[in-house]
Structure 1
C-alpha cells in the first residue's frame, strides 16, 4: 500500500445558461429569490439563500445555503464564502424567509448578517444586502440601514 497519496480536492462551478440579470435594487434581488424559494413552503419552514454577483452587479448564480425548521435555519458562513470564491463573486445578497409572517429581523438575523459581513470584508467581497421574505412582503437590511 502507498501511504504517501493524499486526497485530491476538486471544486467545480458551472453555469447552466448565461443570466444577464442585473440587480440594481432590493426589489430586483427579491424577484430572483422568489423564483427559487419553494412557494408552497414559504409559510411553512425557513430557507436561506445567497445570490452571487460580479462587479457589474450581474447575477453569477444562486445557492440554497440551508433549509430547516419552522423558526430557524442553520447558516454556515464558510459555505456562503466558499461559493463566493468559487464563482469569483464581487458581491453577495442574502435572503431568508420568516414563515411567521413577521418581517422584523431577529437578534440572530442581525448577528449572522454581521458575521457574514465580516467574513466577506476579509475576502474583499461586498455584502450588498440581506432580505427577509414572507409570502406577501419583504424587508431589505440595506434599505433599512441594518448594513
Structure 2
C-alpha cells in the first residue's frame, strides 16, 4: 500500500470585538446608519469610486463592525454574496445593513441594485440573517431601500 500524505490548511474562526456591547452604537433608523457610515468612509473616494460596505448588527441593532466588501470603478462595484455572508457568520451577526455609494451623486437605485438586494435578502433568509436596509450614499444624502418600502 502506498503511503500518501496530504497537506491541508487549518481553518480558525475568531472574532475579537474591541468594545463592550453597551459602548457600541445602536442603529434604529436609516439616518443613524448614514451618519455612522459616512464618518467611516474615505472622503476622497466617495465621489470617485463605487464601494460596497456592510454594517454588521447584533440582535439589538448594535453595531458589531463595518466591513469593506469591495471597491469598483466609477460606475459599478462587484459584490460576492459569499464574502458578505462569510463575514456576517464569522462575526455572529444577526442582521446587516448594506451600503454602497454612487460617485455621480444620483441616489436612485439601478435595476441591478434592486435585483442584488433581493438576492441578498433571499440568501439572508436562508442563513437567518436579516437585511435591515440597503443604503445608497453620497456626500449630500442617501437613499434607503427600507424607507422606500423595497425591503
Q: Would you say same fold, with TM above 0.5?
A: yes
Q: How many residues are matched?
A: 147
- How far apart, CA to CA, are the structure 1 residues paired with 2:75 and 2:17? 32
- How far apart, CA to CA, are the structure 1 residues paired with 2:117 and 2:15? 25
Aligned to 1:95: 99
Q: Shift of residue 12 of structure 1? A: 2.8
**Unmatched runs of 5 consecutive residues or more in structure 1:** none
- How far apart, CA to CA, are the structure 2 residues paired with 1:34 and 1:125? 24
Aligned to 1:8: 10
- How far apart, CA to CA, are the structure 1 residues paired with 2:63 and 2:45? 24
- How far apart, CA to CA, are the structure 1 residues paired with 2:82 and 2:114? 17
Aligned to 1:23: 27
The within-5 A match list for 1:13-92 is: 13-18=15-20, 19-92=23-96
Decide which moves more: 33-42 or 73-82.
33-42
Aligned to 1:117: 121
- How far apart, CA to CA, are the structure 1 residues paired with 2:16 and 2:73? 29
Instruction: Give secondary structure in 1 for the equivalent of 2:15.
Output: coil
Give the aligned CA root-mean-square deviation in angstroms: 1.4
- How far apart, CA to CA, are the structure 2 residues paired with 1:143 and 1:24? 12
